[in-house]
A and B are shown apart, each in its own frame.
Chain A
Amino acid sequence: MSGLPFHRRHDVRLALRYVVAVALVLVFVFPIYWLFTMSFKTPDEIFAFPPVWYPRAIQFNNYRVLFKDGDAATVGNSLILATVSTFFAMIFGTVAAYSLARFKTGGENLAVWIISQRMMPPVAIVFPVFLFYVWLGWVDTYVGLIILYTAFSLPYVIWMMRGYIEDIPLELEESALVDGCTRWAVLWKVVLPMARSGLFATAVFTFVFAWNDFLFALVLTRTEVTTYTVQVTHYFGGQSNFWAKIAAMSVLGTIPVFVAVATMQRYLVRGISMGAVKG
C-alpha cells in the first residue's frame, strides 16, 4: 500500500474498517435475527433444509400456544422478580454506598470485602440456600427469590454506587446541609440527581442479572414462580426439542431487557463511562 498516494491509502483503510465492522455486526446480530425469524416460522420451515432464511408468512401460532398453555406467565414471574429485587437492591445498595463513601463506614476495607461476596460462584451457595429455604418454607415463592436476588445484587450495587457517589463534589452536599437539608434530604435532593446516570446504569445491570438468572430459579422454584429461563429448558426433551416454543419464549424473554436497555441507553453510556474515568 505504500505505493499508493495518501488519500487512496486513507480510503482503503476506511473501507477495510467498514468491512470488519459489518462482519462483526453480522456475527452478533445473526443469532438474534435467527431467533426472531424462527419464532414466526412453521415447524416445516424450522426443519427445512436448505434453511429458510425468513418465514414465508408471519404467523403467531408459536406465541398463541405459549399464552394458551399459560407458559407466557413465566415471563411475568421473571419481570416481577427482577423488577422488585432491582428496586430493593438499588434502595439498600445506594444508602449503604453513601454510608461507605461519606462516613467511611467499616474503614477502607469493608467495601472490598463486600464486592468479594460477588466473586463467589452462585453454585457454591445454591444448595445451602435451598436447604435453608426448605426450612423457612420459601422455596417456590416470590419472597424467597426476591430476597436472594436482592442479596446477590447488593455487592455490585454498593460497589458501583460508591464510586459514583465519591465523584460528587462534597461541597454540594455541605451546601445543602447548611441550607437546611437533613442527611436523607441530601441523599434525595443532591446525591441521587447527581448520580442519576450511574444509578440507571447500575439498575439496568442489576435487572439483567436477575432476569438472566437460571441457577437459583432452577433450584428454588417448581411450579408457582417458575421464571422464563427455567421454562425454556422444559422444551428440551429427551426425544425432541420444541424449537418453535423455544424461539418464541426466548423472544418474549428478550423484549423486556431490550426495552430497558433501549430506554436507558443515554444513561447507560454515560454511567459506564463515569465509572471508567473513575478507575
Chain B
Amino acid sequence: MSDLKISGLHKHYGSFHAVKGIDLEVPSGEFTVLVGPSGCGKSTLLRTIAGLEEASAGRVEIGGKDVTWARPRDRDIAMVFQNYALYPYLSVYENIAFGLRARKVAAGAIDKRVKRAADMLGIAPLLQRLPRELSGGQRQRVAIGRAIVRDALLFLFDEPLSNLDAQLRDDMRVEIKRLHQELGRTMIYVTHDQIEAMTLADRIVLLRDGQVEQLGAPLDLFERPATRFVAGFLGSPKMNFLAATVTEGAVVLSDGTRLPLPPGRKVREGQAVILGIRPQHIAMAGAGALPGHVRVAVVIELVQPTGSRVHVNMPLGGTSIIAEFAAHDVTAPGERTTIDIDMNRAILIDPQSETVI
C-alpha cells in the first residue's frame, strides 16, 4: 500500500510555474528524499503535500484518502521545519506536547508519549527548559520530537539540518536514519544536499524546474543517471564532462586524446557526445592497467587534500578534470604522471537532448 500518491500536481504562483505536473507514489514505510537545486520546486511540493500551499491542479492522496483540498490538520501528517519552529514561550515539554494538546489527547497519554519521544531523542533532561536555553542541535531534536510524538501516517522534513554546522549535521543525519528504522514510518525529506539525499534515502526523487528529472534508489541514480543533470548533481566532487566525437570505435577528445568507447553504447560514427567520468573512476596508474581501463599521461595542476582522500585537478581534453585519489598517492602540482580511467563506468551523453546514451 502507498501512504502518499500524487497525480498530475501543478502549482502556480502568479505567472511562475513552480511545480509542473508531478506524479509520485510513496510506498508505506519508505524514506523518500526530494532533492534538487534551489528553486526546483522541492519545498513547494512538500508544502503542497502538507496542505500549506494549495495545489493549482492535480490530486494528493494520503493513506488512500483524497486530501487535495483538506486542511493541514486533517491530513494525518507531522512536519519538521528548517528553522525548528519552536514556540519560544513554551518549555521543551510543552513544545513537544503542543500537537497532542491541539488534538485533545488525554493528559496521561500526552505525558507518556512526550517522555517516550524525549527518551528516544536523548532530550529527557531538557524537558523543563525554554528553547532559547538550548543549542541548535538540541532545538532540532525537540523539533523532531514534536513530529514523532504525533504518531502521524506521514512525516515531512523541510531541510531540517540546513541550519546546523557540519559536524552536527552528520550526527543528526545518523539520528534521523536511526529514527526511521525504529519507527518504520513513511518519511518525505527535502534537501538540497546530495550527500544527505544519498545517505538517508531509500529512494531519491531528483527535481529540476518543477519536474521529476529522475527517480530511484540512490545507487541507481549515482551509477545510472538518466541525464547530464542527474550525473552532475549527484556525487562529490562533480562528474567530469568532456566534449568528444565518436571516431573509428573510439571517443576522441577535443585535444586529440583517443579513449576506447564504453561498451554497449549505441552511437554512430562521427557523432558528437559528452563523455562523463566520475572523479572516483580515475586512479593513479598501477602496475598494469585493469581491463576496461585506459592509461593517459597528464600533468598535475592543483592538489586539494581532504584528509583521507585528495582531489587533484589536471588538464585533459581541453578542460580541467578532477580526480579523487587516496591521500598517499599525492603528487605535487606540475608533476607528470599517468592515470587509469575506468571506461566501463564512464557515460556518454547526447549533447542535444542531454540524456545519457
Contact = CB atoms under 8 A, between A and B. Distances in A.
Interface of A: 169, 171-172, 174-182, 185, 189-190, 193-194, 196
Interface of B: 50-52, 71-73, 75, 77-79, 81-83, 85, 87-89, 98-99, 102-103, 146, 150, 156
Contact of B85 (A174, A180, A181, A189): A174
A187 to B, nearest CB: 13
Given A171-B85, A190-B87, A178 B77 contact: yes
B89 A193 contact: yes
B83 A176 contact: no
20 contacts: A171-B83, A172-B87, A174-B72, A175-B81, A175-B85, A177-B51, A177-B52, A177-B72, A178-B51, A178-B52, A178-B79, A178-B99, A180-B73, A180-B102, A182-B73, A189-B98, A189-B102, A193-B89, A194-B87, A194-B88
Contact of B102 (A172, A181, A193, A194): A181
Residue of B77, B85, B89 most packed against chain A (CB within 10 A) = B85
A193 B99 contact: no
A196 B78 CA distance: 27
A177 B73 CA distance: 6
Contacts of A176: 98, 102
Nearest to A181: B102
Contact of A178 (B50, B82, B88, B89): B50
Contacts of A177: 51-52, 71-73
B97 to A, nearest CB: 10
Contacts of B51: 177-178
B79 to A, nearest CB: 5
A154 B81 CA distance: 35
A174 B82 CA distance: 12
B303 to A, nearest CB: 43
Nearest to B73: A180
A179 B146 contact: yes
A177 B54 CA distance: 14
Q: Which 8 pairs, one residue from A and one from B, show the smallest C-beta to C-beta distance?
A: A179-B99, A180-B102, A175-B85, A171-B85, A180-B103, A177-B72, A180-B73, A171-B81
A185 B102 contact: yes
B141 to A, nearest CB: 15
B79 A175 contact: yes
Given A179-B98, A190-B87, A174 B52 contact: yes
Contacts of B87: 172, 190, 193-194
B102 A174 contact: no
A179 B102 contact: yes
A172 B85 contact: yes
A219 B328 CA distance: 93
A249 B50 CA distance: 60
A178 B83 contact: no
B4 to A, nearest CB: 15
Given A169-B83, A169-B85, A178-B73, 14 more contacts: A174-B85, A175-B79, A175-B81, A176-B98, A177-B51, A177-B52, A178-B51, A178-B72, A178-B156, A180-B73, A180-B99, A180-B102, A189-B102, A193-B89
A165 B41 CA distance: 27
B83 A181 contact: no
A181 B73 contact: yes
A169 B163 CA distance: 15
Contacts of A169: 83, 85
Nearest to A174: B52
Nearest to A177: B72
A175 B99 CA distance: 9
A108 to B, nearest CB: 14
Nearest to A180: B102
Contact of A194 (B52, B89, B150, B156): B89
B241 to A, nearest CB: 38
Contacts of A172: 85, 87
A169 B143 CA distance: 15
A177 B150 CA distance: 13
A38 to B, nearest CB: 45
B20 to A, nearest CB: 24
